[in-house]
Structure 1
Amino acid sequence: MKALLLVDESQDKIAIREIEKPSPKKGEVLVQVKAAALNHRDQWCRIGMYPNIQYDTVLGSDGAGVVAEIGVGVDGSWLNKEVIINPNIHWGDDEAAQSAAYHILGMPTNGTFAEYVVVHADRLSEKPAHLNFSEAAALPLGGLTAFRATFTKGHVSKGNKVLVSGIGGGVAQFAFQFALVVGAEVCVTSGSPEKLDQMIDRGATGGFNYKEEAWSKNALKTTGGFDVIIDSAGGSSMNDYLRLIKSGGRLVHYGSTTGAPKNLDMFRLFWSQASIHGSTMGSDKEFGEMVKFVSENNIKPILSSVRDFDQIIAAFDEMHAGNQMGKLVVTF
């Protein structure tokens, strides 16, 4: 079968190879992958900026497909079902945080950038009926991360003023959509005026270009501040967020793409009674809640492009350039 492997000998560090089709063991299923979506973690693996790198691993955390085979002990009703895959492996019993054994499908465990993938049967959820395979493939990792950040950590509810940063990313777009559905007033940031315009058209109350020096002053003047800020950048923007957060507000961070802040305005932090919450991925319970929420509210992922699997390296390059607006999906 065709698969995309992380390799050490290629300049690209990734290559499409023919490998042996896997077989499900006890408690496992073989999923014929119909579509898979890229995440930034895939690119971080490619450039060596991810822990426990193992070459000759099939990358990919997001996938949707059809159950082609089942192993011993698996409920026969799964056979031939259209499914999405929960990329969590060994979250554990603690809803507050993942276990020490936790990892994500696609590194070091073989992932979804292949014609077939073996996963444990308890990683399956039925594909939401309103989504096609390409849309469904874009949901698991980004949707789960956004669900935990928005609701478990951010406690976003009707009437809240919410700021979502870096709206070009898939998690940010899910957080935006989720917050809108529950009746929040949502603003966004981006370095691209075109992306801001697109999100205004999709229901954003306001959009702010973080490349403009006075963006946070303009945002404060326009909105009066935010109850919740959902961010993946960190870095120097932290003090902007502390100026924008309302008293008792919540800053939720699910990434740190621009690193640590050089100086953190601790006075603003304690005086505002604000709280900072770290968040990553989500529990299996939250995954089920997220899928139900998406189905009940007819939410569709924003897709930037859908292309044949043979063009996946070009999709990686597009993601690295950062010009996409929505998820990058490949199909088999």
Structure 2
Amino acid sequence: MKAFVHDKGKVKAAEIQDPVAGNGEVVVAVRTAGLNRRDLAIPNRRSEDADALVLGSDGAGVIESVGEGVTDVQVGNEVIINPALRWHENSDAPPTGFDILGMPDHGTFAEKVVLSAEQVEKKPKHLSWEEAGVLTLGALTGYRALFTKGQVKEGDTVFIPGAGSGVATYLILFAKNVGAKVIVTSRSEAKQEQAKKLGADLVLDTESDWTKELEDETVDLVIDSVGEATFNRSLDVLKKGGRIVIFGATTDDHVDLNLRKFFYGQYQLFGSTMGSRQELRAMLDHIKNFKTHPVVDRTFTLEEAQDAFDYLKEGKQFGKVALRM
């Protein structure tokens, strides 16, 4: 079968052996897959002599075959893939044994993928294949950060630095679904306009004076994935006693934190990563109830996977980038 792999230090298209379903496993014929920034980072985390690994965490497709002991799904079912491996029940942190599909296991950038039957869920009927294929990692990450950790509720004001990422688009959609006010930032005027169309109530230029711009706002919750470049600026606009949730660090991993200012402000800081199967199912119920559609910026074919990688590296997308098999 055709696949997009990292092999001996290179990212490339390849022909690899078709997978076979073992006990408790299913083979999914992948219709679409979604790119994440994690996929760009994985080649830098593997050795130069590492064997071929199929990249990709997000995907959706049709069950092609099932192994012994599989009873909950059958051939022909349309499914989405849960990339959060071995994390079933909601917990304060991922359990021992948690991994994300796409390393060390083969991922979704291939015509087929084999995985535990526990890792597939029914595809929401209102989603197109492109929308279903880009859903899970970003939407699950956003759902846990916003609801499990952030405890957002109707009437809250949520501040999200960076409007264009896939997770940010889900955060905007989910927060607006429950009646929260949403404030986002972006350097790009085009992304600012797209965020407004998606439902953001207020959009700031990243380079503006956030404290001045938001002096009349009460920010209850900040969800930040940028890191050093925005952490303290975000903290400056958060209300005393407010919550800040961090789920990534696209700039420097380390920040300078004024502890005295932090504890006097009674701020609450939470880390968040992906989410459990329990939260994934709650997120699927959420998007079904609100008929929410993921934002798909561009779709590439599997043969154009390198172009898709290059496009994501440029950071010009608003929402998700998809691969069509």
TM-score relative to the length of structure 1 = 0.93
Give the structure 1 partner of residue 290 of structure 2.
297
Q: State the shift of 1:270 in Å.
A: 1.5
Contact persistence 1:57–1:110 (CA under 8 A): yes
The whole-number CA distance in structure 1 between the counterparts of 2:29 and 2:314 is 30
Given candidates 235, 258, 271, the residue that maps to 2:251 is 258
The whole-number CA distance in structure 1 between the counterparts of 2:98 and 2:156 is 33
Residue 105, structure 1, aligned to residue 98, structure 2: no
Give the structure 1 partner of residue 55 of structure 2.
59
Residue 70, structure 1, aligned to residue 73, structure 2: no
SS at match of 1:78: coil
Given candidates 212, 222, 233, the residue that maps to 1:218 is 212
Given candidates 36, 40, 43, the residue that maps to 2:37 is 40
The whole-number CA distance in structure 1 between the counterparts of 2:265 and 2:50 is 44
The whole-number CA distance in structure 2 between the counterparts of 1:76 and 1:100 is 25
The whole-number CA distance in structure 2 between the counterparts of 1:262 and 1:127 is 40
Q: State the shift of 1:236 in Å.
A: 3.6
Give the structure 2 partner of residue 30 of structure 1.
27
Q: Which amino acid is the alignment partner of residue 154 of structure 1? A: G
C-alpha distance 262-295 of structure 1, shift in aligned 2 (>3 A): closer
SS at match of 2:114: strand
List gaps (5 residues or longer) in structure 2: none
The whole-number CA distance in structure 2 between the counterparts of 1:69 and 1:287 is 24
Give the structure 2 partner of residue 327 of structure 1.
320
Residue 209, structure 1, aligned to residue 172, structure 2: no
Given candidates 129, 132, 141, the residue that maps to 2:137 is 141
Give the structure 2 partner of residue 126 of structure 1.
122
C-alpha distance 260-58 of structure 1, shift in aligned 2 (>3 A): closer
TM-score relative to the length of structure 2 = 0.95
Contact persistence 1:60–1:112 (CA under 8 A): yes
Given candidates 216, 220, 239, the residue that maps to 1:227 is 220
Give the structure 2 partner of residue 2 of structure 1.
2
Q: State the shift of 1:265 in Å.
A: 2.7
Contact persistence 1:238–1:261 (CA under 8 A): no
Q: State the shift of 1:202 in Å.
A: 2.0
SS at match of 1:26: coil
Q: Which amino acid is the alignment partner of residue 272 of structure 1? A: G
SS at match of 1:106: coil
Cα offsets for 1:194-232 (capped at 9, x unmatched): 1011111222111112233x2x123322x4231000110
Q: Which amino acid is the alignment partner of residue 139 of structure 2? A: G
C-alpha distance 77-62 of structure 1, shift in aligned 2 (>3 A): closer
SS at match of 1:35: strand
Q: State the shift of 1:72 in Å.
A: 0.6
Given candidates 261, 269, 278, the residue that maps to 2:271 is 278
Tell me the number of residue pairs that the alignment of Structure 1 and Structure 2 aligns.
325
C-alpha distance 292-54 of structure 1, shift in aligned 2 (>3 A): farther
The whole-number CA distance in structure 1 between the counterparts of 2:25 and 2:320 is 28
Give the structure 2 partner of residue 115 of structure 1.
111
Q: Which amino acid is the alignment partner of residue 249 of structure 1? A: G
Structure 1 segments (4+ residues) deviating >4 Å: none
Contact persistence 1:5–1:55 (CA under 8 A): no
List gaps (5 residues or longer) in structure 1: none
Cα offsets for 1:99-124 (capped at 9, x unmatched): 23211111110010000000111111
The whole-number CA distance in structure 1 between the counterparts of 2:317 and 2:90 is 35
SS at match of 2:307: helix
SS at match of 1:150: helix
The whole-number CA distance in structure 1 between the counterparts of 2:270 and 2:184 is 19
Alignment of 1:155-194 (within 5 A): 155-194=151-190
Q: How many percent of aligned residue pairs carry the same amino acid?
A: 38
Moved more, 237-246 or 59-68: 237-246
Contact persistence 2:184–2:202 (CA under 8 A): yes
